[in-house]
Amino acid sequence: MGLELYLDLLSQPCRAVYIFAKKNGIPFELRVVDLIKGQHLSDAFAQVNPLKKVPALKDGDFTLTESVAILLYLTRKYKVPDYWYPQDLQARARVDEYLAWQHTTLRRSCLRALWHKMMFPVFLGEPVSPQTLAATLVELDVTLQLLEDKFLQNKAFLTGPHISLADLVAITELMHPVGAGCQVFEGRPKLATWRQRVEAAVGEDLFQEAHEVILKAKDFPPADPTIKQKLMPWVLAMIQ
């Protein structure tokens, strides 16, 4: 059996893995795990990933979880352009620095913005107080400023003159609040221009394909009560 990727493109790290594999011509079998239906919580998927999270990778008898680990595995196994994860010590360290930073900052802020602004009230039918939503959006704004000031600065991409894994991980995160209707790039010309560069670097068609699900998330029908009951503990833990 060849490479298998267990993904749902509603998930931002799944989008990063999907874009990277497709852009670099890495052959894989797509195994869709429908998060909205709770398929990741099933006993069957737990056989693949006991953590019950996507993405997950199977390469023959080898199984790997965690999106950054999967991206790094793919850069090492397949012949991909050096700029994704440079051999140069300090250039690679800059990518590592961003990947280490983003887990508890940009990812958290973007995830909370999506759920508080749209998924809780629209999909789960759970009201979110104006105060909670306002605090979430302030947190997102602060994190976006950090992204600009610390990482993007006046460079073409987050870690230098070329796209890297850092940019791919960042843009897929930012499309979460965009999917919820947040004007993430409005009033931020440097960030907006960076987005255009990233989209052009991965290819506009592939970028749109990967983000089609999240950009249509506002049209999801309300969750079935049984599904809602199954998802709520997972969602609450995820957005803490």
Which of 34, 39, 5 has the alpha carbon at shortest distance from 19?
5
List the domains of the chain with CATH numbers. 1-79 (3.40.30.10), 82-237 (1.20.1050.10)
Give this prediction's pTM.
0.96
The pLDDT of 3-17, averaged and rounded, is 98
Report the amino acid identity of residue 177. Answer: P
The pLDDT of 226-230, averaged and rounded, is 92
The pLDDT of 189-211, averaged and rounded, is 98
| 44-60 pLDDT tens trace | 999 999 999 999 999 99
| 63-113 pLDDT tens trace | 999 999 999 999 999 999 999 999 999 999 999 999 999 999 999 999 999
Q: Which residues of 80-117 are buried (b: 16+ CB within 10 A; e: fewer)?
A: beebbbbeeeebbebbbebbebbeebbbbbbbbbbbbb
Confidence of residue 239 (pLDDT cuts 50, 70, 90): confident
Which of 23, 16, 74, 79 has the alpha carbon at shortest distance from 203?
23
